[in-house]
């Protein structure tokens, strides 16, 4: 059972602040690190793995500072986002090399076990240069597992993985968490995190936006005001009808473009709005032509959480 603690951690590069005053605790089980691209997730994982020193604050593993704590590498398995550069090696040679670097008593058996876990025994005799993106991800995971670490850190592990391999990797992470390992994986895709982790940490622009049970944070994301554009056969009449609805926060007519205008609508209760809109259109004799969300990016979700 291992726990990584971050206390008021910041990391900057010159005038660029990558991580800003983050405090969080990563314990046994599976934790999802969620944030848009450029949020600071990779920097956080580098700090947690001991490969990067904090500019301020502390990062510890079971109470011991991780920076320059070489013995921590016996405990931590890291799957970086960057591509493997050893294309001339076979998958087995790559995993075996890591087993030998760890000084394991039987590196060959350890490499075989790790390859079996990720279902890469058969392709292991091929050079990494011939692997698909998904196979590269799995052989990186095998290399990270070869010394049977109690902490596993994965940076965007599902990138480029096909649906079958994705399900396999997700099941593996859940299994590792159930075994009592401390597993942290980063993603910018909400659905990936939802399928694997209950505990999540949300970061945006280097700041800690939210922490806790996935269901609670998902509710915060769902309950935020949502922006839509509605195009109808009579936008003015529809806008007038929408103003009186409890779930509608704001309504504004859009400038006419190519003969179409549309209505900007800000909604506080998406479920009620979905029921009300067709009824409103029917009652006022208006045909709905188009309904488009305008702020469904993760960046808008995280900006809302940060602003709370």
- Third-level CATH fold of 224-307: Alpha-Beta Plaits (3.30.70)
**Phi and psi torsions of 238, nearest 5°:** -65, -40
**pLDDT of res. 290:** 87
The pTM of the full predicted model, rounded to 2 decimals, is: 0.75
CA atoms within 13 A on the CB side of 138: 28
Contact 120, 138 (CB under 8 A): yes
* H or E stretch covering 61: strand 56-61
DSSP classification of residue 72 = G
Render each residue's pLDDT in the chain as its tens digit; 308 residues. Answer: 899 999 999 999 988 999 999 999 999 999 999 888 888 999 999 999 999 999 999 999 999 999 999 888 899 999 998 877 789 999 999 999 999 999 999 999 999 999 999 999 999 999 999 998 889 999 999 999 999 999 999 999 988 788 888 888 999 999 999 999 999 999 887 778 888 988 999 898 899 988 888 777 766 666 667 788 899 999 999 999 999 888 888 999 988 766 678 999 988 877 788 888 999 999 999 999 988 877 655 555 555 665 55
Domain ranges of the chain: 4-221, 224-307
Q: Give me the pLDDT at residue 247, please.
A: 86
The β-bridge partners of 203 are 208
CATH classification (class only), 4-221: alpha beta
Same fold, 4-221 and 224-307: no
Task: Return the closest-CA partner of residue 301 out of 253, 40, 293.
Answer: 293
CA distance 123 to 101: 22
Report which of 41, 13, 38, 37 is spatially closest to residue 26, judged by C-alpha positions: 41
């Amino acid at each position: 059972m291992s726990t990584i603690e971050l206390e008021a951690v910041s990391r900057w590069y010159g005038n660029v602040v990558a991580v800003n005053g983050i405090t969080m605790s990563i314990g046994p089980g599976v934790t999802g690190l969620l944030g848009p691209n450029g949020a600071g997730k990779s920097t956080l994982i580098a700090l947690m793995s001991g490969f990067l020193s904090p500019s301020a604050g502390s990062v510890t593993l079971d109470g011991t500072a991780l920076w320059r704590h070489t013995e921590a590498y016996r405990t931590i398995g890291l799957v970086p986002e960057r591509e493997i550069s050893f294309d001339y090696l076979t998958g087995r040679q790559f995993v075996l090399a890591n087993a030998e670097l760890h000084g394991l008593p039987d590196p060959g058996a350890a490499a075989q076990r790790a390859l079996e876990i990720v279902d890469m025994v058969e392709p292991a005799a091929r050079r990494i240069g011939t692997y698909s993106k998904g196979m590269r991800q799995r052989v990186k995971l095998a290399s990270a597992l070869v010394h049977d670490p109690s902490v596993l850190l994965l940076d965007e592990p599902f990138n480029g993985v096909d649906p079958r391999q994705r399900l396999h990797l997700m099941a593996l992470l859940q299994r590792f968490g159930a075994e009592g390992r401390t597993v942290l994986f980063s993603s910018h895709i909400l659905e990936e995190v939802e399928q694997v982790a209950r505990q999540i940490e949300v970061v945006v622009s280097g700041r800690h936006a939210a922490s806790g049970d996935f269901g609670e944070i998902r509710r915060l994301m769902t309950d935020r005001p949502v922006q839509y554009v509605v195009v109808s056969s009579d936008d003015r009449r529809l806008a007038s009808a929408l103003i009186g609805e409890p779930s509608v926060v704001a309504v504004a007519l859009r400038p006419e473009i190519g003969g179409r205008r549309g209505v900007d609508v800000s909604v506080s209760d998406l479920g009620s709005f979905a029921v009300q809109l067709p009824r409103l259109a029917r009652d006022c004799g208006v045909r709905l032509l188009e309904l488009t969300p305008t702020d469904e990016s993760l960046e808008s979700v995280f900006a809302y959480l940060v602003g709370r």
